[in-house]
Amino acid sequence: ARILVSGANGFLASWIVGDLLRKGYSVRAAVREKAKGRNLLKMYEEYGRKLELSLVNDMNTEGAFDDAVKGVQGIIHTASPVHLDASHPKGKITMIDPAVNGQLAMLTSAMKHGSSVQRIIITSSCAAILDTVPDPTKDSATVSELNWNMRPVEQCEKLNSHATGLDMYSASKTLAEKAAWDFVDANKSTISWDLTMLNPPWIFGPVKHEVSSLASLNSSCKMWADAVLNGDLGGYPDPLHFPGHGWVDVRDVSEAHVRALTVPAAGGERIIVCAGAFVWQDFSVIFPVDSANALLPAPAMSLAKGTLGTVHRAITFDTAKERRILGIDYKTMTDSTQDILTDYVARGWC
């Protein structure tokens, strides 16, 4: 089968493309410019013509994916702006519009021109499920796929809004996911495929996409490196309590996308894909600073070793649905950390 992957040159999708090829799929990798596909073609050279590029230079327009969807059996849509830098009102244009319209353009193209498409997987986010808890030392919550993160949407819709970059990103994911489910609902008599949403929390892991330095890493990996390697908590006041959210290794999220293509029960579902809760300190506690010292030429992780078990984990993501439908065997924080550091050392980044 041939699978279309959008945002193919990104952090997550670069892993997905490799996993699909390894499992025998052909892949049509949608990127904005030819140059952005070069790294993929080189990295997966051994697969020859099983990997092809498709140029979708502006997904914000209807018809953007008309050619890309032709002749594919599945679509994995990861493309979406991912950063926390665009606050109100700029974020409406740079984040929300491309996230929502890009998804709708893909779904519309699949409806009109994707006669062989059987399943569409969209990478949503836990940002569409749960707001960042304002103070994890006081607030805690167990959340499931039944929850929707509406506060940032309301925040972004208010006039004179104080919506932050995180609000804009979260609103873009909530609005895009809702728009996709509404699209499916409105067109169910016409479409031949079904839809699966995967909702990961913060994704960390070694990188495969084209990136030249720690400073130019994708947003989530950069936050990990800033916090764990450089002690820069990006505004979060203390590493023992923040961010108190969920995390998952990129390789497990990739595997979830590939499994979701073929598991019948995944159709029509939104599924949280989460390895567990974390605070920044966990990465130093679980992967002892001594081991980091042995691995890194210099200097070691900058977060001091904390005390395991004293942190208050604010959010528990209910992963019962994921276990029932996909059954991912999650990487541990130790494995993930070890692999990230090994990757960064090999690249000469630390």
Residues near ligand NDP, by CB under 6 A? 7, 9-13, 32, 36, 59, 78-82, 98, 102, 123, 125, 173, 200, 202-203, 218, 220
Give me 249's structure tokens: 């290794």
Q: Which is nearer to ligand NDP, 155 or 254 (CB)?
A: 254
Give me 11's structure tokens: 């952090």
Q: How far is the CB of 310 from ligand NDP (least distance, A)?
A: 26
Q: Which is nearer to ligand NDP, 39 or 316 (CB)?
A: 39
Cα separation of 232 and 235, whole Å? 8
Q: Which is nearer to ligand NDP, 21 or 300 (CB)?
A: 21
Q: Chain-centre distance of CA 189, in angstroms?
A: 30
Contact 88, 17 (CB under 8 A): no
Contact 56, 65 (CB under 8 A): yes
Q: Which is nearer to ligand NDP, 32 or 50 (CB)?
A: 32
Q: How far is the CB of 40 from ligand NDP (least distance, A)?
A: 10
Full 3-state SS string of 35-87: HHHHHHHHHCHHHHHHEEEEECCCCCCCCCCCCCCCCCCEEEECCCCCCCCCC
Q: How far is the CB of 230 from ligand NDP (least distance, A)?
A: 18
Q: How far is the CB of 41 from ligand NDP (least distance, A)?
A: 15
Q: How far is the CB of 158 from ligand NDP (least distance, A)?
A: 23
Residue 182's identity, in one-letter code, is D
Backbone φ and ψ for 297, nearest 5 degrees, come out as -60, -45
Q: Which is nearer to ligand NDP, 59 or 271 (CB)?
A: 59
Residue number of the CB closest to ligand NDP reads: 10
